[in-house]
Structure 1
Amino acid sequence: MTHADHLTATRAFYDAIADDYADHFRDAHAADPMDRAVLTVYAELVGTGGRVADLGCGPGGITGLLASLGLSVSGLDLSESMLAIARRENPGIRFERGSMLKLEGHADGSLDGVVSWYSSIHTPVDELPALFAEFHRVLTPGGHLLLAFQVGDEPRHLDRPWGHPVALDFQRRRPERMAELLAAAGFDVRVRTVREPEPDRDESAPQAYLIARRPA
């Protein structure tokens, strides 16, 4: 699958499931103590008023939570259907459509923070170095990256979610390998946290959170 095919498939998948996805995951992360703690720590590291981009923001739940923690946040996503929900539910936040592999709307060193909350899971492994290089480019020296993903070696294939005729692979990663790739891109990895899956949230794999810093 080419890069363009991959983006098209991801966009089509989320366009199809946007309403059901937003309903299913509404307030899920804000209600989870571990997710909330990680996001709160991250917001404190960035600092009040810090300029942050939530990349792969989906329906904007995490974007809104980051804004409530005092960050000056914007959202970006491939799916216009997801963005329509995000704009409706977060009218004071700017959302735009685009790929996080090419952050054309952000100049070098223009952000204090970048968040990729379960969005790098749709990036093929051979494109991760370019993705992390782009995150590094847009961060100011001293800026922080937050990365969340599922732990594992094999992808999860999701077929016909909520009855929609679409399918997509969700890549699982090893935290140590992701940390190596971040270091190769010039980041200083500051936090590595892994928690066990929560059966009540229908999780089938451990969840990882990495916080990395572009050196000052």
Structure 2
Amino acid sequence: MDDAITDRKRALYEEVADTYAEWLPDTSFEAGIDLALIRDLVEQFAAQAPDGRVEVLDAGCGTGRLIPYLRSLGDGVVPTGADLSPAMLAHARAAHPGVEFVAADLAALPFADGRFDGVVAWYSIIHTPPHALPRVFGELRRVLRPGGLLLLAYQAGVGERVRAGAYGHQVELLAFLHHTPYVQAALEAAGLAVELTLDRAPRDSRAQERQPQGFVLARRRD
């Protein structure tokens, strides 16, 4: 990924980590249909595993706000988190002892090939420019086992979004909108077969969504 963009992203979340953890402690901002997509990913593998064990990577986990929801989906769900920001990971480790969290870029994950049944990249590609998506998708595919599932969530559209004063700090948040047909094509080129795409309208709620929200579920093919 572009070094300048990566450095800017890391610096942003190092600055806002404490406020982010306070403002977004869990998945209460998510719509029910959004969470149902995560549940479906887990349930597909839980039904197949003799012991119900499902290894899920929360790629771009931030403060770990998805971890309680993942754990609620079954005793056999084993979540692992990866994030670029050490400050965000410090919150994740404090809130979720016993869960493995590692510092890593999405384009260079320190995990063995085929380790995970599922990868959830929940709004973590919003800081990835469209031209860099193929590299990220290739890496997410690599850590999936054959037949494993990748679930993406992002703001759908074209162009960039700059938010001044992000999370109450004197910083600018640069985010990239992603055009779902382009996301789908990049996934297919990376060796992932798209099984579901969904763009839903923004909700007029405390989530303060301003763009359509995009979701794609894709399976590693071999």
TM-score of the superposed pair, with normalisation by structure 1: 0.93
Please provide the CA RMSD for this pair. 1.6
Equivalent in the alignment of 2:66: 62
Work out the CA distance in 2 between the residues paired with 1:174 and 1:46.
29
Query: Is 2:72 the partner of 1:73?
Result: no
> 1:44 and 1:30, CA in 2 relative to 1: closer, same or farther beyond 3 A?
farther
Secondary structure (helix, strand or coil) at the match of 2:183 reads helix
Query: Is 2:56 the partner of 1:52?
Result: yes
Secondary structure (helix, strand or coil) at the match of 2:159 reads coil
Deviations 1:76-113 (CA, angstroms, capped at 9, x unpaired): 1111111111111111211111111001x211122211
Equivalent in the alignment of 1:139: 144
Secondary structure (helix, strand or coil) at the match of 1:52 reads strand
Equivalent in the alignment of 1:127: 132
- Of residues 5-14 and 46-55 in structure 1, the stretch that sits farther from structure 2 once superposed is 46-55
Report the count of equivalent residues.
214
Matched-pair contact (CA < 8 Å) for 2:137–2:190: yes
Match of residue 181, structure 1, among 174, 181, 186:
186
AA matched with 1:97? A
1:1-216 matches, within 5 Å, as 3-29=2-28, 32-47=31-46, 48-70=52-74, 71-103=77-109, 105-200=110-205, 201-215=207-221
Matched-pair contact (CA < 8 Å) for 2:166–2:173: no
Secondary structure (helix, strand or coil) at the match of 1:120 reads coil
- Of residues 20-29 and 116-125 in structure 1, the stretch that sits farther from structure 2 once superposed is 20-29
TM-score of the superposed pair, with normalisation by structure 2: 0.90
For structure 2, the residue ranges without an aligned partner over 5 or more in a row are 47-51
Q: CA deviation at 1:37?
A: 1.1
Work out the CA distance in 2 between the residues paired with 1:29 and 1:41.
18
Equivalent in the alignment of 2:49: none
Matched-pair contact (CA < 8 Å) for 1:51–1:73: yes
User: Which one has a larger percent helix, Structure 1 or Structure 2?
Assistant: 1
